[in-house]
Homo-oligomer: A and B are copies of this chain.
Amino acid sequence: MRGEQTPRLREALEDDIVAGRLKPGQRLDEVGLAERFGVSRTPIREALIQLSSSGLVEIRPRRGAFVVLLGPRELIESFELMAEIEASCGRLAVQRMGPSDREAISDAHETCRIAAAAGDEEAYYPANARFHAAIYAATGNRVLAGEALRLQRGLQPYRRLQLKVPRRVEASFAEHQGIVDALFAGDGPLAAERLRAHVLVQGERFMTLLAALHAESEALEDAG
């Protein structure tokens, strides 16, 4: 058997969680995963520990690993943190972005426009992630950008549920347009404020959706 299994396993599990194939609350059986990936429990355990540190998985001692299921309070708080980080990124990006950064932002924005015009929510999703990532990168601060990406990934499983909110894509794209305008106009504070509002309103929309879902059924609870 050759080396370096753990990173591959971590990425595979991370993708499964972010893509929603492993649902929040679900238990991750070490033996089952080991068999599925054709390795022993050791690298699986190490991958799970990494995922727990990055916040996608929760390890309860002697109980096992579970895909993290954020409660309402933690969700609100996470969106607020995300909003603050994104606002900072916007302000710094205005100060520092170069031509290639502008281009990356424009490109991602156009991809969003196409997906939004087509009403294609599945396509809008990754385009939206790319749009925000382009802003992070434009700060020129890799540590900050890495942090932002990490948080973005952590919230991805929950954003997925938002697909059901009507007219979400149109609203999101309109907000993106305002952000791009402020960024390219060189108005840092305005870009920051619009990014903050964009993320916070996403969070609010999400909480509304969650409340509605919770009212009609306990679907999330049964997910495990």
Are B80 and A141 interface neighbours, CB within 8 A? yes
A residues contacting the other copy or chain, number (CB 8 A): 28
How many copies of this chain sit in the oligomeric assembly? 2
Are A77 and B144 interface neighbours, CB within 8 A? yes
- State how many angstroms separate the Cβ of A83 from the closest Cβ of chain B: 9
| Docked complex Cα distance between A221 and B135 (Å) | 34
Question: Which residues in B have their C-beta under 8 angstroms from that of A50?
Answer: 49, 52-53
Are B53 and A144 interface neighbours, CB within 8 A? no
Are A147 and B81 interface neighbours, CB within 8 A? yes
- Chain A binding surface SS class: helix
Question: Which residues in B have their C-beta under 8 angstroms from that of A88?
Answer: 84, 87-88
A51 closest partner in B (C-beta) = B53
CB of A142 within 8 Å of the partner chain: yes
CB of A156 within 8 Å of the partner chain: no
Question: Which residues in B have their C-beta under 8 angstroms from that of A216?
Answer: none
Which chain A residues have a beta carbon within 8 Å of chain B's beta carbons? Answer: 3-4, 7, 45-46, 49-50, 52-54, 61-62, 73-74, 77-78, 80-81, 84-85, 87-88, 92, 141-144, 147
